[in-house]
Structure formats: C-alpha cells, structure tokens
Amino acid sequence: MRRLILLAAGAALIAGVTGMALSGKAQTAASQNAELRPVSTFAGIADPRQRAVALFEESGKVLQHPRCVNCHPVGDRPRQGDMMQLHQPLVVRGADGHGAPGMKCSTCHGAANFDLPGSGAGVPGDPHWHLAPASMAWEGKSLGQICQQIKDPARNGGKDMAALVKHMAEDSLVGWAWNPGKGRAPAPGTQESFAQLIQAWAANGAHCPAL
C-alpha cells in the first residue's frame, strides 16, 4: 500500500512537470528528429575519420536527448521530463547510484513503467533503474566531450569498445529511452538503429567530433 501511495504521488508530480514539458516550444522540440538516419546514408563519406564523426553526430541525437541526459546529470540529483527539471520529489544519487538509504530509486521505480490510470503521466521503471555513475555525467557537455568520455574505460565502467557497443545494443535501461511511458517523448529512432550507428562509428575508428 505504501508503495502504491508513493507511486500515485510521484505520478501526480510528474503529471505537473509533463504538462509544462509538452507545451509550446517543448512540444515542438520533442517532435523534432524523431528518426535516426541509417548507417547506409553515411557510406558516401570517403574518409573514415569524417565518416566516424558524422555517425557519432547522428547518434548524438539520442545521447543528448532528455531520455539520456536526465540520467546522466551533473551533480547528485537526476532530472526528469522533456524540460529536464530537477527530480521531484527530491532524491539524490547515493553511494551506488541507486539513491540514498531510506529513499532508494526502487521505492518508487519498479521493474516496468507505471502509468497512472486516467492521467497523461506515470512513473518510469526498469529492473535496473538507477543513475549513471558520476564519471559518466554529461549534462551540458559538447558532443565531442561526450564522445571522449564514453570510450574512456577509466570513466565508462571499464568497458572496451566491444563492451560499449554491446551495452548500447542490449542494455534494458538504455532501451527504456524508446519506451518511456506516458508523458515523455521517446528518443529518436530505435535502440537497434542507435546501436547500428554506434557499431559503425566504432568500426570506422571511433573518432570524435571536435571538442
């Protein structure tokens, strides 16, 4: 019962946030770049370095989308909604990215999205719901900085390029970005098309845009 009360309260807060996020310019922005260009459209770029940069710039439509940035915030508070407001109620990262003692992410976030009946919003969920490590915070960073960051094993959790591609292609929390529940715009394209861009970027040398 306590969990249901918290979920309902959280959904009500999110509904208010969503109402602002999907109005005016925010609604227009959410509808832009709804697709990702397929890898084949970059085949005409003869230079592998330039091709890799172009591929990463296309994948950046996902990496810099609110569905990703909200969980890769600067500081210890996640963000939420298409306008990327600070999370309400107030929560913090905690020692392991799963929240503080007594207010873990799993207190409100279950294994799947909880869409409040009769509402345009709900509480997102995934079995592994948590904040990205602080070393992977990229809110406010340029795409070149994000590129350098995600391929650096010292900052990405020790992943080599093969593990990074696998993470992008198969991780369920990454995949949540395309199934975010009511009141949130999904990331452009699909997880599969995003992973194909990342794989092609890696195959072409994993070069990064200018910082």
Indicate whether 68 pLDDT > 80.
yes
Structure tokens at 22: 């999907």
In whole angstroms, what is the distance from residue 173 CA to residue 67 CA? Answer: 10
Indicate whether 144 pLDDT > 80.
yes
Q: Give the residue carrying structure tokens 């391929």.
A: 151
In whole angstroms, what is the distance from residue 185 CA to residue 170 CA? Answer: 21
Tell me what pLDDT residue 14 has. Answer: 46
Q: CB neighbours of 5 closer than 8 A, spacing ≥ 6?
A: none
Q: How many CB atoms lie within 10 A of CB 112?
A: 14
Q: Cα 34 to chain center, whole Å?
A: 15
Nearest to 40 by CA among 55, 50, 56, 53: 55
**pLDDT tens sequence across 13-55:** 444 444 434 433 443 344 445 899 999 999 999 999 999 999 9
In Å, how far are 29, 44, 120 from 16, measured between CA atoms?
19, 46, 10
* pTM for the whole structure: 0.86
The strand pairing partners of 118, in sequence order, are none
